[in-house]
Structure 1
Amino acid sequence: MSKETLAVRVDDDIRTRLDTLADAFGKTRSSVINDALRQYVEFQEWQVDLIKTRHAALRDGNAQTISHEDVLVKFDQRFRDKSAG
């Protein structure tokens, strides 16, 4: 995988914390940043894909929905069950 240099400005405390993590893991600061960015990008892509999928299901009439009132009833039941136990 080819790599590209990317300049980013970070707060001093973030740089210090990154260095501490890099030392703890025996990695470079760049490696720790790449790991963090990879996790962030994968999570954000997952969310965007899920939103697109759910939006398409709603648009096409294929989504299972629940009314606001039913949600409130389920929350009330859940909280009542937890307080009783």
Structure 2
Amino acid sequence: MSKDTVAIRVDSDLRQRLDKLADAFGQTRSSIINDALRQYADHQEWQVNLIAERARSIAEGRAKLIGHDDVLAGFEQRFADK
């Protein structure tokens, strides 16, 4: 996989933390940052895809929708004795 260079600015505290992590794992700062960005991108893509699927489900009438008042009543009933 080819690598592109992306310049970012971080505060000195974060840079020190990244350097400590890189040292602890025997990796480079760049690999630590790549791992973090990959995890972030994976999570954000998952959320975007989930929201899109839920929107399709609603648009196609496949979703069971519950009104706000019904949700509150359910919570009140569930936690009434706690």
TM-score by shorter chain over 0.5: yes
Alignment of 1:1-85 (within 5 A): 1-81=1-81, 83=82
Quote the Cα distance in structure 2 between the aligned partners of 1:23 and 1:78: 49
| TM-score of the two chains, using structure 2 as the length reference | 0.88
Alpha-carbon distance, 1:27 to partner: 1.0
Quote the Cα distance in structure 1 between the aligned partners of 2:32 and 2:66: 42
Comparing 72-81 with 30-39, which one deviates more in the overlay? 72-81
| TM-score of the two chains, using structure 1 as the length reference | 0.85
Q: Which runs of 4+ in 1 moved over 4 A?
A: none
Q: Percent identity?
A: 62
Superposition RMSD on alpha carbons, in Å? 1.3
